[in-house]
Each structure stands twice: as C-alpha cells, then as structure tokens.
Amino acid sequence: MSTQQHNGQAAPAQPAAAHMPAPAGTVPPAGAGAGQQPGQGQPGQGHWPGGIAPYSSPIPMARTNLGHALVSEWTKIRTVRSTVWTLGVMFALVVGIGLLSAVGLSGDFTGMPLLSSGLFGLMLGQICVITLGVLVVTSEYGTGMIRTTLTACPQRGRVLLAKATVFFLLAFVMTTLACALTALINSALLSDQTLPSYERGSELADSFEGGKLVASGSEWLGATVGAGLYVALLGLLSLAVGALLRHSAGAITTMMGVVLLPLLMAMFMAGKALQDVRDFLIEYSPLNGLASLYRIPMTTDQDATGWPLLGGLAVVTLIVFAAAYALLNKRDV
Amino acid sequence: MIEAYGLTKRYGAKTAVYNLSFQVRPGAVTGFLGPNGSGKSTTMRMILGLDAPTSGQVTVGGHAFRGLPNAPRQVGALLDAKAVHGGRSARNHLLSLAQLSGIPARRVDEVLGVVGLQEVGKKRSKGFSLGMGQRLGIAAALLGDPQVLLFDEPVNGLDPEGILWVRNLMKRLASEGRTVFVSSHLMSEMAQTAEHLIVIGRGQLMADMSVTEFIARNSVGFARVRTPDSEPEQRDKLVAALHEAGGQTQPEEDGALRVTGLELPRISDLAHSADVRLWELSPHQASLEEAYMRLTQGSVDYRSTADMRTGLQQPAGAPAMAGAPAMAGAPAVPGAAPQQAAVPGIAAAPQMPPGQQAAHAPAHGAAAYPGGPQDAPQPGVPGGGTLQMRAPQPGTNPYAADAPAAPTAPPAGPAAPGMPGGATNEGEDAR
C-alpha cells in the first residue's frame, strides 16, 4: 500500500503506466487546482496541483474474464446454506422415494419399464432444483448483494453467465447422480418380475430377457443423464425467470405454475370441444417431458422418449435466458 | 478522479438528480452533503454504473464505470452496509469479490484485519451489527486497493471509536493520493473529515468548494446596520461611505444592510462622519452547521411536510403559488413572504451551464453588488454565480409535485434574489 508516483492524468487502467516516468509538463485537467492547497508537492514528481500523486496500487492488476466470475460464483453457491439444503433435500427425495417405491413394488409385476419408478421422487425433487435456481439470482436482489456484485463486476452479462454455468453444472451433476443411484436401486430390486400371461405381446414383453425385466441402454440414458439434464434445464429456466422478476417468491410461484398448471388445467378440461387443447397441454406439460424420459409418457404416444421435449425446453430456456441477459444490462439495479 | 457532467436522473415523474456537474479530485477527502433524499445515493449509483443517468454522464478516471476492465481495482465502493448475503461468512463474501477481480485470497485476510473483523471473519454476516456491517462494506471497498473510493454514509451505525477510525481512514486514504468521495447528511462530521465539499439539495448542486472556503463564506460574522426607513438617501450615503472604507454591503430583506469587512466601531464612526443616523447596529455570527441547515432546509421540508400541510393548514385566502412565474415574481416584491433565499457564498457557478449562468449571474452581481460577482470573497456576496435555494413557503409548496422535473423551474429560483432591492438573503437572518 505504498504511494507511488504516477502520471497526473493517467487513470490507473494499465499497471504499467504507474511505473513510467511522469512526463515533464503534464498538463492537469482544467480546473483541477481549485480545491487544493498549492505548494505541498514534491517538485518534479506529482504533477497533480495538490502535490499528491494519484495513488497506484502495488498489487498487480489482472484483466478479468469469465473465468474469474466462474470461480467467484462457485464460491458464492457453495458458501450459502440454501444450496446445501435444496440439493440435499432433492437428493433425499429422489433416492429416498425411489428406494421406498422399489421396496414396495419388488416381487410384483409393476406393469412399467424397469427404471420408471424413479420419476416419482424426481417429480418432487425437481422443485428443490427450481427453488435453488431462482435463489441463485433472487437472493442477491433480496439482500442487496447484487449491487455489490455488479459494482465489483460491471460486466453484468458475465455475472449472469457465470451464475448460470455454475448452477447448471452443479444441478446437472447432482440430479444425474441422484437419478443414477435411484436407477441402480430400481434395477437391483425390480428386475425379478414375471411377465403375466395377459401382457404377452405387449411392448413391455420386449423388455424381458431370460425371465428378467431389463432396461435398454436408451432407457438408462433417459432415466439418468436425460432426467438430470431436464431438471437442470428447468432450474436454469428458473434462474432466468428469477433474473427477470428479481423476486424470490414471485419467481418460485411462476415456476411452480409453469410446471404444474398445464397438467392441472388439462384435468379440468372435459368434453370433446376442448379435446385438442387438453391433449396439447398434456403433451407439452413439463411433467410429461420428464415422464417420457422415464418411458411412461402421459400421452397416447407410448413411443415418446422425451428427448424432443427436452430440446423444446432447452429452446424455451435459451429464449428466456436471452431476455434476462438483455434486461439485466438495461435495467437499473 | 470522478467527473460528472449534467447528470440527471428521473424516476417516472420524480427527478432525483437534476443537471449535476462536479469533479472529485485525488488527494483529498471530498464530502458529499445533502439531506436525506437529496439524491446522494442516486448520484453514487450512477457513478458506479448501477443506475443509468437519464441524461448527462459520469466518468471515473476518464472511463465510464461500466467500461472499466477491472472495476474493483480502480474503484472501491461502500453503498449499503446491508448489501451482502447474510448467510455467507464475512470472509467468504470478501473471497467471492476478490475472485471476481483476480485479487489474491490473502488480500481478504489483510482487509479483514484493516477493518478489525478478523475475529468474526468466519461468522455469517447475518448476525453482524450495523457497525460491523459498515466495516465489512469498507473492507469490500478496500479489497482492490483502488485509486478511487466511494463511501455512502460510512459512519452510520458506528460507535464513537468507529467514527474516529473511519475519519482517520478516509484521511489516510486521501493522503496516499486516492480520490475519496464520502457522502453524509451530517455537516459536523464532514467538517472534520473532508477538505472539499459538494453540497446538493433536491438533486441539484448547491455548493462545490473547499471546506475552508465554505467556512469562510458561511460562518464569518457580519454586522446588521439599519438606517431610518423613511430616508432611503441616508442608506445610499452610508453604503457609499462603507464601500469607500473597504467594506461590503448587501441589502437585507427588511431593508437593513448586512455589512462585512468592517468592525462595528468603524461602521459607527463612518456613519457618524457621513452624518447618517443608525437605527440598528448589531453583530451576527453564522455557524457552519447553521449555514448548511439553511442551505438544505428547503429540500428537507419539501420532503417531509409538503403533503401534510396543503390540505390541513393552508388558509383559504393564501394565494395559490403554482408554477415558475409565480415563484420568480413573488420575492421581488419587498415585504412579500420570503420564498427564495440566496445563501451567501454558495456558488454554483463553475457547474452551471453557460446559458443558465448568463441568464442569472449578471442580474445578480451587477445589480445588487457593484463589485461584480467575480471579486467577492466575503460572505454575503456570491462568488460569481447563482445561488440555488428555495426556502419553504409555509403553507404552500408549489414545487411539491414536479418542480425539478419542469425544466423552467430550477432556473427560476436563482433569478429572484437577483432583483435589485428585492428580497435577498432571507436565509441569513431567518433564525
């Protein structure tokens, strides 16, 4: 923290500038002397009329980039309790419910693909990920931390991008791990099933190999990576919605609506006239996307894998995120 | 170095900051004074790029804040002690900020030590007192060892020991050649910390000068001299005699004269030799705190009571003083309720746009003060500029709704005190 001599006019933008000899006769900005007491300066050094050379830090200055923001956001996300709580509860719900349902169903014929019962836990677990996604952004607005953050990094887009990346990777890894663990439990406890005679010739019959229910590679992929990706994307959408609304409760409520409302509305749409609307709502309900990844789609199309819906979710997320990115740069904090 | 040019910020119909221009220079603590709601924080937020100005611009070290490649290394800021995530420990909070700008992690422990929080660095900041919060905020500002520092009300919530510490810290930072810009609503605090003052009220610049100058202009005593009301020629005679002897005079609102630069006995002698009778000759002393209070009083009242009074206390016969023309006209009538008051020595000249200055300064200086506006170091004569202060009019406040938003309103203010013989300097004897 030593005072170094410095060209009177140069902003300390480049650290190198601080060590250059101050050019003689540097002209101070107009009117700079008005409030200063003259005559205190060391001759030939500080060219500021007040006699004090502008401060220059001895700490080398790094040019910041997204990497710095990523490290910072990682520190932030791992040092608050909400992260531990939401992800912990998500893990407990997914694995716990998966284990309970597997134990409960074991021995009987379940009538669904081997890994499908993992969906039940994840339907609740995704709410935790949504909550965390919202909180990653809105907790900064709620506490006022956002002003500190954006003062420390006025490149606002970089902050949002770093938050999104760190959160998405964390949510994806954690959800995929939980889903994979659940899938392993299911495959261990539920593969001993006997195909009842009335199911012969059904699609499920193809999944029986040597008297055991097995899951294909694509089923495994859908129930682990697919489900993890889907929920992490939902969380990312929540993060973007949080950045748009800047309010925790508002954003969480909005996301609950997005996830639950299509299906709830469809349930009350009886009658032929609304058939098309109902089918549309069910097909594009976020819950149907998740169910399809577990190979138990809610529509009549039993071949749905959920991947196209996941792509759709990715597109929606991208659009909302772009809107949040643009608005963040535009709005006052 | 912070430079603002014509900074204006509107929130809907409300104008928080209007046409603010100033420079904050390195090597000195610059106090940023104004009552609550006068636009200090808004200005700070605009400097930091958090709020975009409606018009005008502000630069730090020649760059717009949002264009700085590594902002925390150049500008440190304490905006709000509570602007931290309470669930994170103090150390982790600072660590995340350090990482954001590539500052080594050991610097975090350094600044924790500087602000005296090393003991509680691992504690969550939720449990911090306001004073500890301020210290944490100051630590965050110091983290990047920046050239420019902004502190918004840094002594809020600090105990006397803490206040002293902040005061010395500010001075030390400035003595190292940094630009230190500190906002406060306490004149007494700033008088002890700052070397330079920028005073705003209702979002507009009221004063931009060194503390020494502010004190010189505002707390120096003066003599009130009153000649017989019935004989104006006596007054003119006295004024001539006083000017000849090197004194400065300034007409008071009630017809008396404010005389500076001459001792009371000398004034009496001069009056005697000029054969002028005196009705009053009294010494007056204005304190710095009072000067500041008067300076900012208008905005304070405007904020707190304007709405309440309009409906409840306004007598039926009171004239509706709405709009700029009424404002400009009213004080020119002697004896009219004082509505505008020029506060001596509060010069906004260097910051006023040329048009505004041209419009009002001549009227002010030439008519009222023969010496002209430029050679007036004494209190009571504005240093070449226009004065902006509107004392509250009891019962009415025509500015209440949208005055600063109306472009004509602010210039209308300074015009009034400049009317020859008009009501001026109500502020000085309003006590």
Q: Give domain status of residue A17, yes or no.
A: no
Q: Nearest Cα to B171, choosing from B194, B189, B150, B140?
A: B194
- Within a 10 A sphere around the Cβ of A124, how many other Cβ atoms? 15
In a domain, A296, yes or no: yes
Is A307 in the same domain as A203? Answer: yes
Position B380 in a domain: yes
For residues B367 and B325, membership in a common domain is answered with: yes
Q: Which residues of A touch B178 (CB under 8 A)?
A: 54-55
Same domain, B329 and B256: no
With respect to residue A33, please indicate whether it lies within any of the assigned structural domains: no
Report the distance separating Cα A89 and Cα A236, nearest Å. Answer: 18
SS3 content of chain B, % helix, strand, coil (to 5): 40, 20, 40
Please check whether residues A49 and A192 belong to one and the same domain.
no
Structural domain includes residue B187: no
Find residue B183's DSSP bridge partners.
B32, B152
**Residue B354 token pair:** 């040329």
Whether B255 and B335 map to the same domain: the answer is no
Across the strands, what pairs with B78? B151
A211 and A323 inside one domain: yes
User: Averaged over A181-210, what is the pLDDT?
Assistant: 85
- Residue B367 covered by a domain: yes
pLDDT over 90 (residue A170): yes
Contacts A–B by Cβ distance under 8 A = 187
Query: Per the domain annotation, does A290 fall within a domain?
Result: yes
Q: Is B24 helix (H, G, I), strand (E, B) or coil?
A: strand
Tell me, what's the pLDDT at B157?
84
What is the pLDDT averaged over residues A72-76?
Answer: 97
Q: Are residues B340 and B411 in the same domain?
A: yes
Q: Which of B10, B48, B85 to mutate to test the interface with A (most CBs of A within 10 A)?
A: B85
Chain A positions touching B86 (Cβ under 8 A) are 143
Q: Which helix (H) or strand (E) holds B309?
A: helix B306-312
Residue among B26, B30, B92 minimizing CB distance to A75: B92
Q: Check whether residue B419 and residue B389 sit in a common domain.
A: yes
Residue B391 lies in a domain: yes
Same domain, B269 and B309: no
Asked whether residue B355 falls in the same domain as residue B266, the answer is: no
For the domain that residue B249 is a member of, what is the CATH number?
3.30.70.100
Q: Is B282 exposed, middle or buried (0-12, 13-18, 19+ CB in 10 A)?
A: exposed
Task: For residues B327 and B370, state if they share a domain.
Answer: yes
Q: What is the crossing angle of helices A286-293 and A248-267, to 10°?
A: 80
Buried b (16+ CB within 10 A) or exposed e, B395-409: ebbbbeeebbbeeeb
Q: Is the pTM of this model over 0.95?
A: no
Contacts of A145 in chain B (CB under 8 A): 83-85
| Banded pLDDT at A261 (limits 50, 70, 90) | very high
| Residue B392 DSSP symbol | P
Chain B residues with beta carbon closer than 8 angstroms to that of A152: 71-72, 97, 100-101, 140
Q: Is A161 on the interface with B (CB under 8 A)?
A: no
Can you read off the two tokens belonging to residue B227?
A: 């000649």
Q: Please enumerate in sequence order all residues whose Cβ is within 8 A of that of B240, keeping only pairs 6 or more positions apart, or say none.
A: B274
- Asked if residue A273 belongs to a domain, the reply is yes
Among chain A residues, the shortest Cα distance to B149 is held by A55
Same domain, A135 and A207: yes
Q: Are A153 and A215 part of one and the same domain?
A: yes
Whether B338 and B272 share a structural domain: no
> Residues A56, A119: one domain?
no
Choice among A17-31, A124-138, A241-255, B199-213 with the minimum mean pLDDT: A17-31
Of all residues in chain B, the one with the smallest CA distance to A142 is B85
My answer on whether B343 and B394 are in the same domain is: yes
Q: Phi first, then psi: give them for residue B135, nearest 5 degrees.
A: -65, -40
Contacts of B317 (CB under 8 A, 6+ apart): none
Please give the structure tokens belonging to residue B426: 């109500």
Cβ pair A189, A212 in contact under 8 A: no
- On whether residue B109 sits in a domain, the answer given is no
Give chain B's domain count.
2
Range of the domain at B228: 222-284
Number of separate domains in chain A: 2
Determine the residue of chain B that is closest to A81 in CA distance: B87
- The predicted pLDDT at position A144 comes to 92
C-beta of residue B250 within 8 angstroms of C-beta of residue B368: yes
| A279 belongs to a structural domain | yes
Strand ranges for chain A from DSSP E: 208-209, 212-213
pLDDT score at B147: 94
Query: A244 by DSSP, 3-state: which?
Result: helix
Closest CA to A231 of A257, A259, A204, A207: A259
Q: Does B296 fall in a domain?
A: no
pLDDT in tens, B277-308: 888 888 876 666 767 776 766 655 444 444 55
State the 10-residue block means of pLDDT for chain B, 431 residues long. 94 92 94 88 94 95 92 93 90 96 94 94 92 93 95 90 93 95 86 90 89 74 84 86 86 83 86 88 73 67 51 54 40 39 40 40 37 38 37 41 40 38 38 37
Q: Are residues A50 and A96 in the same domain?
A: no
**Residues A225 and A293 sit within 8 Å (Cβ to Cβ):** no
Provide the pLDDT confidence category of residue A274 given band limits of 50, 70 and 90. Answer: confident
Q: Region A261-277: what's the mean pLDDT?
A: 89
d(CA B282, CA A46): 48
Residues in chain A closer than 8 A to B14 (CB atoms): none
Q: Chain A: give the shortest CA distance to residue B405, in Å.
A: 20
Is A30 inside any structural domain?
no
Does residue B408 contact residue B324 with C-beta atoms inside 8 Å?
yes
Tell me, yes or no, whether A150 and A45 share the same domain: no
Q: Which of A21, A29, A222 is nearest to A115 (CA)?
A: A222
**What is the residue range of A222's domain?**
66-330
Q: By the 8 A CB rule, do A99 and A194 touch?
A: no
In this complex, is the C-beta atom of A329 within 8 Å of any C-beta atom belonging to chain B?
Answer: no
Contact A144 B84 (CB under 8 A): yes
Same domain, A47 and A144: no
Half-sphere exposure of A166 (CA within 13 A, CB side): 23
Q: Are residues B348 and B385 in the same domain?
A: yes
Q: Which residues from B are below 8 Å from A148, CB to CB? A: 79, 83-84, 97, 140
Q: Is residue A136 part of a domain?
A: yes
In a shared domain, residues B262 and B344: no
What pLDDT sits at residue B326?
A: 38
Examine residue B132 and state whether it is found in any structural domain, yes or no. no
Contact check, Cβ <8 Å, A11/B88: no
Residues A174 and A320 both lie in one domain: yes
Is A44 exposed, middle or buried (CB count within 10 Å of its CB: 0-12, 13-18, 19+)?
Answer: exposed
Q: Which residues of A touch B5 (CB under 8 A)?
A: none
Q: Is the pLDDT of residue A23 over 50?
A: no
Instruction: State whether A50 and A90 are in the same domain.
Output: no
For residues B136 and B8, give the distance between their C-alpha atoms in angstroms, rounded to a whole number: 31
**Mean of the pLDDT values across residues A183-208?**
84
pLDDT at B311: 55
For the stretch A223-237, pLDDT in tens is: 999 999 999 999 999
ipTM attached to this prediction = 0.82
- Look at A54 and B97 and tell me if their CB atoms are within 8 Å: no
In DSSP notation, B329-368 reads HGGGSTTSPP---PPTT---GGGS-HHHHHHHHHIIIIII
**A75 vs B: CB within 8 A:** yes
pLDDT tens digits, one per residue of A152-168: 999 999 999 999 999 99
Cross-chain CB nearest to A55 (options B79, B99, B147): B147
Closest CA to B353 of B417, B411, B419, B412: B411
Question: Is A140 an interface residue toward B (CB < 8 Å)?
Answer: yes
For residue A275, give the amino acid letter: Q
Residue B378 lies in a domain: yes
pLDDT at res. A150: 95
Question: In 10 A of CB A278, how many CB atoms?
Answer: 18
